[in-house]
């Protein structure tokens, strides 16, 4: 799925920017961690304010998953600092300046565009600095942080194990054995057992195993 200038598997731009935590270079900021970059149309927008507070409350959950968060809007770092005080909580570092916002803005969009029409992006990067997932929200719909945590759990599990996560999967649920893994190899790799679901076709390609 194409996002503005970035496709899944593309390397993150190694931009430099001023943030509420000082000047950063993005790859250095990520280090060996996973990273999530959120875009916001402007500071002090109501929906984004609720998201900022939710991100702050979930900071320990993201930290447990070795995920660093950073947010981006077109406003100045000083405005970002003022916005942080609205919630009275420590927010993720935020990058400032209209030039920086161009990274996430579609080419036809301008800083003066109607805020209600401005897209909000979620980019998830792996420790290899490559884009693993992107989600696009309209400005009128707040992001679902429970879902963002869920997909991070899925991305991290499937990055290191030869499994995939089925529809509506939650941590602790059974996972699917990837199709490229032969049955005999799967039995050795997953000692808790591999089972299949019966299908009307009789095919046995839906192979499950308890979460490793």
In-domain check, residue 119: yes
In this predicted structure, the answer to whether residue 121 has a pLDDT above a threshold of 60 is: yes
Residue 5 lies in a domain: no
48 is catalytic: yes
Residue 196's contacts (CB-CB under 8 Å, 6 or more residues apart) are 204, 205, 206, 207, 208
Catalytic residue (one of 30, 48, 67, 101): 48
Q: Report yes or no on 155 lying in a domain.
A: no
Domain count along the chain: 2
One domain for residues 131 and 57: yes
Confidence class of residue 97 from pLDDT cuts 50, 70 and 90? Answer: very low
CATH of the domain at 206: 3.30.1020.10
Q: Are residues 109 and 167 in the same domain?
A: no
Confidence bin at 138 (pLDDT 50/70/90): confident
Residue 126 and residue 24 in one domain: yes
* Predicted local distance difference test score (pLDDT) of residue 45: 65
Per-residue pLDDT of 23-72, as tens digits, reads 888 999 999 999 999 876 655 567 777 888 788 889 899 999 999 988 87
| Whether the predicted pLDDT of 170 surpasses 60 | yes
Same domain as 186, residue 141: no
CATH number, domain of 117, equals 3.40.30.10
Residues 36 and 131 in one domain: yes
The H or E element spanning position 49 is: helix 46-57
Q: What is the pLDDT of residue 39?
A: 79
Rounded Cα gap, residues 163 and 51, in angstroms: 31
Which of 29, 51, 22 is CA-nearest to residue 39? 51
In a domain, 67, yes or no: yes
The mean pLDDT value of the chain amounts to 79
> What's the pLDDT at 120?
81
| Per-residue confidence (pLDDT) for residue 204, from 0 to 100 | 83
183 and 123 belong to one structural domain:
no
Which helix (H) or strand (E) covers residue 138, if one does?
strand 131-138
> Do 94 and 43 lie in a common domain?
yes
Domain boundary among 148, 176, 202: 148
Alpha-carbon distance of 35 to 118, in angstroms, equals 23
Q: Same structural domain for residues 35 and 132?
A: yes
The share of the chain scoring above pLDDT 70, in percent, equals 73
Q: Is residue 157 part of a domain?
A: no
Residues 141 and 195 in one domain: no
Given a cut of 80, whether residue 2 has pLDDT beyond it is no
Q: Looking at the structure, do residues 109 and 136 belong to the same domain, yes or no?
A: yes
Q: Which of 113, 145, 127 is nearest to 48 (CA)?
A: 145
Residue 175 and residue 143 share a domain: no
Mean pLDDT of 121-134: 95
> What domain range is 189 assigned to?
163-210
pLDDT at 93: 54
Stronger pLDDT, 146 or 88, i.e. the higher one: 146
Going from the C-alpha of 23 to that of each of 28, 107, 112, 132, 179, the distances in angstroms are 11, 26, 26, 25, 45
Residues 18 and 94 in one domain: yes
């Amino acid at each position: 799925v194409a996002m503005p200038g970035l496709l899944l598997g593309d390397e993150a731009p190694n931009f430099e920017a001023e943030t509420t935590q000082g000047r950063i270079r993005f790859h250095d900021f990520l280090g060996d961690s996973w990273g999530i970059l959120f875009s916001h149309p402007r500071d002090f927008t109501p929906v984004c304010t609720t998201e900022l507070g939710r991100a702050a409350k979930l900071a320990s959950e993201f930290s447990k998953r070795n995920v660093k968060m950073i947010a981006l809007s077109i406003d100045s770092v000083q405005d970002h600092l003022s916005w942080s005080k609205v919630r009275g909580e420590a927010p993720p570092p935020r990058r400032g300046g209209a030039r920086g916002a161009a990274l996430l803005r579609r080419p036809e969009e301008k800083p003066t565009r109607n805020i209600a029409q401005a897209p909000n992006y979620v980019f998830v990067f792996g420790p290899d600095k490559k884009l693993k997932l992107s989600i696009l929200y309209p400005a009128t719909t707040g992001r679902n942080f429970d879902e963002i945590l869920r997909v991070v759990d899925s991305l991290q599990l499937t990055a290191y194990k030869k499994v995939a996560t089925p529809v509506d999967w939650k941590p602790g649920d059974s996972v699917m054995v990837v199709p490229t893994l032969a049955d005999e190899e799967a039995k050795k790799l997953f000692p808790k057992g591999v089972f299949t679901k019966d299908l009307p076709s009789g095919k046995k390609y839906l192979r499950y195993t308890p979460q490793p």
